[in-house]
């Protein structure tokens, strides 16, 4: 009987503790730091994983409406062997917002400015979604700046009409800013059951901090610049490129591979069981694809 009497309070305490963790915005992981640089006309915020002096430098560019800390769980897998910087894009996290004066391609020049201001020598670029486009164009237009590029689920072929993630209105995006963190975490847990709780916590924080292109949230941010052919851009890159794509049926995989056909410096790998956020959905499979590429650099 004593065990039965104690069981309910213990369960309640555990449940309440879980809610508290989910509702509290997470801080920076132990051993990590953050800072700012002024580059390309704005103040750019970044996070740095536990310093690894003498190790290859890696610069990470997150996806749309995310923040640098959305790389946390993948960075923890890599930080023993790489000196990693995770940059908040313009209008995201703690970096300055976009302005009406932004020039096309500002996202690329922001990252170029960051790398140069921090005196980072030949970093490996890693980008997801929106960030993969930034990393791709940077490697294509600033050929001597990067050592390699890793692109997580960039768009390789045009999407059929009506496909892809739903576009949000400015009001819907502002509602993210107004939603309590605990509710956002619960939403993430429900919609993405494969994610680590840490991924959901930083996803929630990123939505609270978003302050980007509300007026153009249903389209392409001006700072991204002109949408050129992916194949054209990839063909201009001279360093090794690894493209990690979400799981897809055979015909879609073949179409993705056709885009890079004949490009000896580019490799495409599809991650089984993963969606667009493949580094959250299937982190260990993502790591298994990353390791042989990184070991050859």
pLDDT of residue 164: 59
Q: How many domains does the chain have?
A: 1
pLDDT of residue 72: 98
pLDDT digits (tens, 9 = 90+) for 182-221: 999 999 999 999 999 999 999 999 999 999 887 654 344 5
Counting every residue written for the chain, the total comes to 297
The tokens describing 16, both together, are 């309440």
Domain for residue 185, yes or no?
A: yes
Describe the crossing of helices 197-209 and 170-178 by its angle, rounded to 10 degrees: 120
Domain for residue 21, yes or no?
A: no
pLDDT of residue 14: 34
pTM score of the predicted model: 0.89
Domain for residue 164, yes or no?
A: no
Q: What is the mean pLDDT of residues 35-42?
A: 97
pLDDT digits (tens, 9 = 90+) for 219-231: 445 555 555 689 9
Euclidean distance between CA atoms 68 and 214, whole angstroms: 20
Could you tell me the CATH number of the domain that includes residue 147? 3.40.50.1820
Judge whether 92 and 209 are in contact, CB under 8 Å.
yes
Domain for residue 152, yes or no?
A: yes
What mean pLDDT is reported for the chain?
A: 88
What is the number of helices (H) and of strands (E) in the chain?
Answer: 11, 8
pLDDT of residue 209: 95
Judge whether 125 and 59 are in contact, CB under 8 Å.
yes
Domain for residue 51, yes or no?
A: yes
Cβ contacts of residue 32 below 8 Å, gap of 6+?
47, 48, 49, 50
Higher pLDDT, 225 or 281: 281
CB atoms within 10 A of CB 166: 6
pLDDT band at residue 145 using 50, 70 and 90 as cut-offs: very high
Domain for residue 165, yes or no?
A: no
Helices marked H in 100-212 — which ranges? 106-117, 130-141, 170-178, 181-191, 197-209
pLDDT of residue 196: 97
Structural domain containing residue 89: 31-157+172-295
pLDDT of residue 103: 86
Euclidean distance between CA atoms 19 and 218, whole angstroms: 33
Domain for residue 19, yes or no?
A: no
pLDDT of residue 222: 55
Above 70 in pLDDT, residue 168?
A: yes
Domain for residue 107, yes or no?
A: yes
DSSP per-residue codes, 68-124: GGGGHHHHHHHTTTSEEEEEPPTTSTTSPPP-TTPPTTHHHHHHHHHHHHTT--SPE
């Amino acid at each position: 009987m004593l065990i039965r009497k104690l069981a309910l309070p213990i369960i309640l305490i555990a449940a309440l503790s879980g809610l508290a963790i989910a509702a509290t915005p997470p801080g920076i992981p132990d051993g990590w730091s953050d800072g700012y640089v002024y580059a390309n006309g704005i103040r750019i915020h970044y996070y740095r994983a536990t310093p690894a002096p003498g190790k290859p430098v890696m610069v990470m560019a997150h996806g749309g409406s995310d923040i640098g800390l959305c790389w946390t769980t993948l960075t923890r897998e890599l930080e023993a062997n790489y000196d990693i910087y995770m940059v908040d894009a313009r209008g995201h996290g703690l970096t300055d917002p976009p302005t009406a004066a932004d020039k096309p391609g500002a996202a690329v020049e922001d990252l170029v400015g960051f790398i140069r201001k921090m005196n980072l020598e030949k970093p490996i670029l890693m980008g997801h979604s929106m960030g993969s486009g930034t990393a791709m164009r940077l490697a294509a237009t600033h050929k001597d700046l990067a050592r390699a590029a890793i692109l997580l689920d960039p768009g390789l072929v045009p999407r059929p009409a009506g496909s892809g993630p739903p576009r949000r209105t400015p009001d819907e995006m502002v509602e993210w800013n107004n939603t309590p963190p605990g509710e956002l975490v619960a939403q993430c847990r429900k919609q993405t059951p494969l994610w680590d709780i840490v991924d959901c916590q930083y996803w929630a924080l990123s939505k609270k901090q978003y302050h980007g292109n509300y007026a153009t949230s249903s389209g392409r941010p001006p700072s991204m610049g002109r949408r050129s052919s992916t194949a054209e851009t990839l063909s201009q890159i001279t360093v090794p490129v690894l493209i990690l794509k979400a799981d897809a049926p055979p015909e879609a995989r073949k179409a993705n591979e056709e885009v890079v056909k004949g490009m000896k410096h580019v490799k495409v790998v599809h991650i089984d069981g993963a969606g667009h956020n493949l580094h959250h959905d299937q982190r260990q499979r993502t790591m298994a694809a990353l390791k042989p590429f990184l070991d050859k650099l």
